[in-house]
Structure 1
Amino acid sequence: MTKPVWVLRSVIDAIHDMQLAQHGGASGVRDEGLLASALARPVNNHAHGETDLCTLAAAYAFGIVRNHPYVDGNKRTAFLAAYIFLRMNGLELVADEISATTVMLTLATGDSSEDEYAAWLRVNTKTL
C-alpha cells in the first residue's frame, strides 16, 4: 500500500471554522497540545504498521472527539476529518446522516470505541 495522504492542520482548522460559520459555536483552539496529539494519532498508528484506511480515519475522529481540542465543534470537526481523510485516499462514506450522527455521538460519549467506529466506517464506505 502507498503512504496515505494525511489531512493537514490547516485543512482541519478550515473545516472547524466552516462548521462554526454554518452551525454556530464558540471559536478557537482550547488546547494546542491536544489538537497536535489528535492529528498525530493516525500518523503514529501508520508508523507502527497500521494500513487500514478506515482504522486511520477512525483515529482522526477519535483523537479529535475525545481530546476535545477546540472550544466548540469537536464532533463536527472529528467527523469531517475522517470523511475528508477517506475521500483523499479513495474511499467514500455512504452512510445516511442519522446513522453518521448517532455513531459520532456514541464515540464522543465513550459508548463506542475507536475500533467500533473503524468497523462502522468499513461497512459504510465504498471505493471511489
Structure 2
Amino acid sequence: MPELPERSKWQQEAPPIEFANEPDFLAFVQTVLDAHMEEMTKHGGYAIEKGDEGPRVQSVVASTFLSSFGQSPADRFADIFDQAAAFAYYLVRDHPFGDGNKRTAIRIALAMVGLRGVKLNISDSPNPWQNDLYQWIEALVSGELTQEALAANLRGRAHS
C-alpha cells in the first residue's frame, strides 16, 4: 500500500521523540505523574493510589520513548502522531492510576504533539458528546478505535 503524502510530510516535520539518557526519561515519567495529579486536583476523581503507579508509568514511557530490541522510536513510529497514539493506548490499557488514566493519556499525547510544534484543530466542547478528544479516548478504551486510527485522527487535524 502506498504511503499517504500527509503521513510522509509529518515524518519530516514531526518525528517521534526519543530519550537518549536516563535523566530525560525519568523527568518525563515525573511529568506524567505530575500531569495526573494536576488532572485529579483540577477535575476531581478517585484519588486511590495503587502503590505501583511509578513503575507502571515508567514501563509505558519506556515502551514509547526508548530504544527496544535494537529499534529506536523512529524505527517503530512513523511520526509523532503514531507515537502519541501509542502512548495514549498503552497508558489507558495499563491503567496505572485508580482514576484519571484517560485524561492523563490524552493530555500527555497532546503535549507530545505540541513539543514538535504542531497545532491541532480539535473541538474542546465541555459537552463530552461534542468533544472529539473525549469521543476518541472513549473509543480507544472500548476497542472501537485502534491506536492507528487515533494517530490518523490527530494527523488529520494537524497544521504547522
TM-score (norm 2): 0.70
1: CA distance, partners of 2:99 / 2:142: 15
Partner of 1:112: 145
- Contact 1:34/1:69, CA 8 A, preserved across alignment: yes
Partner of 2:32: 12
Change (3 A) 1:29 1:123: farther
Aligned length: 127
SS in 1 for 2:98: coil
SS in 2 for 1:71: coil
SS in 2 for 1:8: helix
Q: 1:108, CA displacement in angstroms?
A: 1.3
1: CA distance, partners of 2:58 / 2:47: 17
> Is residue 72 of structure 2 the alignment partner of residue 47 of structure 1?
yes
TM-score (norm 1): 0.86
Partner of 2:6: none
1:39-118 correspondence runs (5 A): 39-44=61-66, 47=72, 49=75, 50-97=77-124, 98-118=131-151
| Long gaps (5+) in structure 1 | none
Change (3 A) 1:111 1:91: same
| Long gaps (5+) in structure 2 | 1-11, 20-26, 125-130
1:46-76 Cα deviation digits (max 9, x unpaired): 7150241100111111111111111110000
* Identical amino acids, percent of aligned pairs: 26
Aligned amino acid, residue 72 of structure 2:
A
Structure having the higher Rg:
2
Change (3 A) 1:123 1:3: closer
Aligned amino acid, residue 112 of structure 1:
L
Q: 1:86, CA displacement in angstroms?
A: 0.7
- Contact 1:29/1:69, CA 8 A, preserved across alignment: no
